[in-house]
Chain A
Amino acid sequence: MAVSTRPTAHRPQSGPAASQRRGRPARHRDDGRAGYVFLSPWLLGLAAVTAIPMLLSLYLSFTNYDVLSSFSEADWVGLDNYRKMFTDDPAFWHAVRVTLVFALIGTPLKLGAALGVAMLLNRTFRGAGLFRGLFYLPSLLGGSVAVAMIWRSIFDRAGAFNAFLGWFGIEGKAWVNDPSTALGTLILLAVWQFGAPMVIFLAGLKQVPAELYEAAEVDGANSFRKFLSVTLPMLSPVIFFNLVLETIHGFQGFTSAFVLSGGTGGPVDSTLMYTLQLYLKGFANFEMGYASAMAWVFLISIGLVTVVLFRTGKFWVHYSDGDD
């Protein structure tokens, strides 16, 4: 960067003509056009891959459309898809319930595991980095088809989990094929991937000032009390961040539900996640209009959940630069 060593004071006078064209400070020059040139791929993407498809999807949600015919042949049916969804389609409500159970049970378990293990690792000892890496590994691999296939084998009737139970004389069952436990195995697979939120918790724990713990200790607080009165409040912004991220993530679970149920949402619809039902409607039954309506309900629901989380967050998230 040899250029930066030159004295800048007399640059505007002696510099190349381009830099003094308008006699304004160099940094305000001409960025307008360049800005849009650099932004153009993104702008094109926003229009072509996001905005137009969203409008198209909104339009399709008011039609019956099967993809097989041409786009102009979509039948306008008004609010029929939405009406049918809410009043006349048990599978829709079933998918909503399955997704809620998955997210409402899976997310707290996952965050609890993440926080617990982060607390265990939040101390300097040899090998701490190694453990951190190993616990993170499932987050990296867990969303893949391969791991879901393995999970299916482990919790099958002749799988490793039943062989393990056999050591204790417990009669196992086909966990992935039993409607009462299939969703449980899905949740377990999600909890197993606690590594990513754990890493974020660890970073948050490192930010808690040691003086606070010392002060609490002087006041006679035991470990549990310190956790309750120092760790949790100081960590609340990170907990909130993880909660929002993992909840939204939870609503979107698809791959593991698809693989564990062989692409059906079975047994008896017990793993029929919302996104899986959307996929089945759109790409197995070719009810693209109905699937579009489902997509819009999904989008609005996720938006609402996010807003609600942010609203409630005001009551329990403490930012240390605030008043308290």
Chain B
Amino acid sequence: MVAVTAARRPFHPRSLIRPALLLVLTAIVLYPLAWMLGTSFKAPEEVLNNVAVLPDNPTPSNYPDGWTHFDVAFGRFFLNSFMVASLTVVANCVSCLLAAYAFARLRFRMRGFWFALMIGTLLLPSHVLIVPQFVMFKTFGWVGGPWPYLPLIVPHLLATDAFFVFLMVQFMRGIPRELDDAAKIDGCSAYSVFRHVILPLSRPALVSTAIFSFIWTWNDFFRQLVYLSDLEKYTAPVALTLFIDSTGQSAVGPMFAMSVLSLAPVFLFFVAFQRLLVEGINTTGLKG
């Protein structure tokens, strides 16, 4: 597959170095993931002290065991995660698109100032704001309230993910301005330009935002750990950490099984959108 294909110079052993190195590296990089998948099908006595990826006697039993390992079925945690991630996707797409349109296309006083502030918030670590935000949301009665996901979702409704605003601004700058101008000359207001010109043309940027939003929220742990304290309301990553406390060999297999399941959505996104994800990194420096 990686054979040096080009028909250039005569064969030289050195030409094998690169493919060999790449294969070794691939094996090292993918080993932890392959081992996790294989081990999730191993019986308890096979789990420990074992380098092998493939189980000797494959058994699916870790999956039902993990699913029902805690007082609340793992399906509940997945549902919670899906709900938080989906709502975040919608909130981010709507709010960041609005802000990006203003920054990229409209002229108003202090635009440059606000834009600089927006770029500044890109560098603000979330750990800096977590304490006062917690105090604030607790004062609102949201923390530990009937629907403790409010602190996880409301900020996204307010376009606080500057990365996505920036990504969409960059994208909109590529849309020819003549389209706006023509529509405006024909009497379109800024609102109808948004609705009829920018919105339909922004679909690729929205797709990127949706995919990255979903993956990041799905993987997010810090904020979910801070805000969710009721087992019923846990998301998948928070619930996974419960396996740390439940000691004993019997929990290792189920832990692997649930880990595999919790990576599955991100992995499926990767398989479906590999090119888009990699290009997204490439053009904007977004991290994985």
Contact = CB atoms under 8 A, between A and B. Distances in A.
A6 B29 CA distance: 58
A163 B117 CA distance: 52
A245 B285 contact: yes
A89 B254 CA distance: 40
Interface string B42-67: 00000011110000000000000000
In this complex, the interface size class of chain B, counting residues with CB under 8 Å from chain A, is 35 or more
B138 to A, nearest CB: 6
Interface in A217-267: 241, 245, 248-249, 251-252, 254-255, 258-259, 262-263
A125 B19 CA distance: 10
A16 B187 contact: yes
Contact of B179 (A4, A151, A153, A154): A4
B99 A254 contact: no
A283 interface: yes
A71 B135 CA distance: 8
B226 A254 contact: no
A26 B107 contact: no
Contacts of B124: 50, 299
Contact of B222 (A44, A121, A152, A254): A254
A134 interface: yes
Most buried by A among B35, B98, B270, B281: B281
Nearest to A203: B282
Contacts of B260: 146
A142 B32 CA distance: 11
Given A135-B25, A259-B244, A141 B159 contact: no
Contacts of A212: none
A60 B25 CA distance: 49
A65 B277 CA distance: 43
A38 B281 contact: no
Nearest to A152: B244
The dominant DSSP class at the A interface is helix
Interface string B201-224: 000000000000001001101100
Interface stretch (A90-98, A101-109, A287-295, A313-321): A287-295
Contacts, number: 338
A239 to B, nearest CB: 13
Contact of B278 (A15, A136, A248): A136
Interface string B127-164: 11111111110110000000000000011011110000
Contact of A45 (B160, B218, B245, B262): B160
Interface in B168-225: 178-191, 194, 197, 215, 218-219, 221-222, 225
A136 B182 contact: no
B98 A145 contact: no
Contacts of A79: none
A160 B35 CA distance: 9
Contacts of B182: 1, 3-4, 8
Contacts of A77: none
B54 to A, nearest CB: 13
A30 B134 contact: no
Interface string A273-293: 001001100110000100110
Nearest to A44: B158
A282 B227 CA distance: 13
B130 A282 contact: yes
Q: Which of B130, B222, B238 has the most A CB atoms < 10 Å from its CB?
A: B130
A12 B287 CA distance: 47
A144 B187 contact: no
Contacts of A29: 184
B7 interface: no
A41 to B, nearest CB: 5
A158 B155 CA distance: 43
B267 interface: yes
B50 A163 contact: yes
Contacts of B98: 38-39, 41-42
26 contacts: A4-B182, A18-B187, A31-B108, A34-B108, A38-B190, A56-B135, A71-B139, A131-B26, A133-B270, A133-B275, A139-B287, A139-B288, A141-B219, A146-B258, A147-B32, A149-B241, A150-B259, A152-B244, A196-B281, A202-B282, A245-B287, A263-B244, A275-B222, A278-B127, A288-B135, A299-B128
Given A35-B111, A134-B26, A144-B262, 5 more contacts: A18-B189, A19-B184, A31-B107, A41-B99, A302-B125
Ranked nearest first, the 4 interchain pairs of A and B with the lowest CB-CB distance are A45-B158, A35-B108, A139-B288, A34-B190
